[in-house]
Amino acid sequence: MVPDYYLLDELLTGEERAVRERVRAFVDREVLPVIGDYWERGEPPFELLPKLAELKLAGGTIEGYGCPGLSAVAAGLVTMELSRGDGGLNIFFGGTSSLVMPAIYMLGSEEQRERWLPPMARLEKLGAFALTEPEHGSDAVALETRARRRGEGYVIDGRKRWVGNASFADVILVWARDDEGEVGAFVVERGAPGLSARVMAGKTAVRSSWQAEVELSGVEVPAENRLERARSFRDASRVLAAMRYGAAWAALGHAAACYEAALAHARERRQFGRPLVSFQLVQKKLAGMLAEITSMQLLCLRLSRLADQGKMTGAMASLAKMNNARKARGVCLEARDILGGNGLLLEHHVARHAADIEAVYTYEGTDDINALIVGRDITGVSAFA
């Protein structure tokens, strides 16, 4: 079980606990028995999609449009439990639920919400969030993709990279600069002429999700596919801040999975005539892992409550992402150490999480970038070029 050393369960509502238990049962029953095979093959678990849809959790905190209207804490718990199962599964689901749907809800018109959100809430349509470009990773504001006005619509040219779900998504939300240099978000639907997406090969983390390189060559998009209230990079940042606190929950899920595996292994494994848990070094490692996980839980819970109250800032989200990804990285490696050679085998899950946490450490802002966001907030001085 996920550790709860400070009895944080008592601070959750009944609905939040129910959501968590529903996802936890799904992960234990449907995901863990099969996910190692998907990870090893480097394929998304498409067969799990109907069962994911049955959970009726897509859209997270969005109210209406067939979405569940969860609290930020409940949405975070969903992310944590899916990541406890597999990081790629969380990205597979989150590309639609945590990126594209919130962007459409926050920045789209009522007509755009009604058009796209209900089928995405049912997971009948899947989404991809196309912001990052080949030459602009951390420097996301330096968009080169262009959307030129032509007649009643736009023509988009450019390239994107590291776009989860893009090779099969029904809806790709492309961020581009218009003729005036303003940043906008444009919904490009699957099959649009001039749109191509190639799955990136050779990836050693989150292997059960596909990231793609996307090329847009003269892709025509009607004017009604530009999100009405997406007019600057600040608008993209609003979506990214929400995703960043989700990344903090994801890191917690990876750490909790590794702690669970390490504790179970140490109880069962005997060396030198004694169970591993009886050795001082192992107990010290487990205590340190538990301390890190408990601090991560406290940060996630408080940040999500602030989000529910409308008090969360982008810098707060960056601090949580930076802290939790860094701590989870250490917890995963400690678990790998406790399991010894068994820690390299997919059947014990730790190797998979130890690889996947490297993706979490990088996406939604690297450790350094999030540190600079926090640094700018506390000093009033930007260290960015």
Whether residue 244 is predicted with pLDDT greater than 80 in this model: the reply is yes
Give the per-residue pLDDT at 92: 96
What span, in angstroms and rounded, lies between the C-alpha atoms of 58 and 311? 24
Position 13 scores a pLDDT of 98
- Structure confidence by residue, pLDDT tens digits, 291-305: 999 999 999 999 999
Q: How confident is the model at residue 346 (pLDDT cuts 50, 70, 90)?
A: very high
Fold agreement between 8-121 and 233-379: no
Q: Is the pLDDT of residue 153 over 80?
A: yes
CA 374 vs CA 247, 295, 303, 368, 370: distances in Å? 16, 19, 15, 10, 6
156 beta partners: 147, 219
DSSP label at residue 347: G
Q: Dihedral (C-alpha) 184, 187, 193, 199: value to the nearest 10 degrees?
A: 100
* Structure confidence by residue, pLDDT tens digits, 61-99: 999 999 999 999 999 999 999 999 999 999 999 999 999
Closest to 35 measured CA to CA, from 374, 353, 296: 353
Q: What is the pLDDT of residue 91?
A: 96
Return the CATH architecture of domain 8-121: Orthogonal Bundle (1.10)
Q: Does residue 32 register a pLDDT over 80?
A: yes
| More reliable by pLDDT, 140 or 51 | 51
The per-residue pLDDT for range 349-362, each reduced to its tens digit, is 999 999 999 999 99
User: What does the domain layout of the chain look like in residue ranges?
Assistant: 8-121, 127-225, 233-379
- Round the average pLDDT of the chain to a whole number and report it: 95
Q: Would you tell me how many other CB atoms lie within 10 Å of the CB of residue 189?
A: 15
- The CATH superfamily of 233-379 is Butyryl-CoA Dehydrogenase, subunit A, domain 3 (1.20.140.10)
**Architecture in CATH of 127-225:** Beta Barrel (2.40)
pLDDT digits (tens, 9 = 90+) for 162-179: 999 999 999 999 999 999
Calpha distance 303→326 (Å, rounded):
17
Q: Which two tokens stand for residue 50?
A: 């109907």
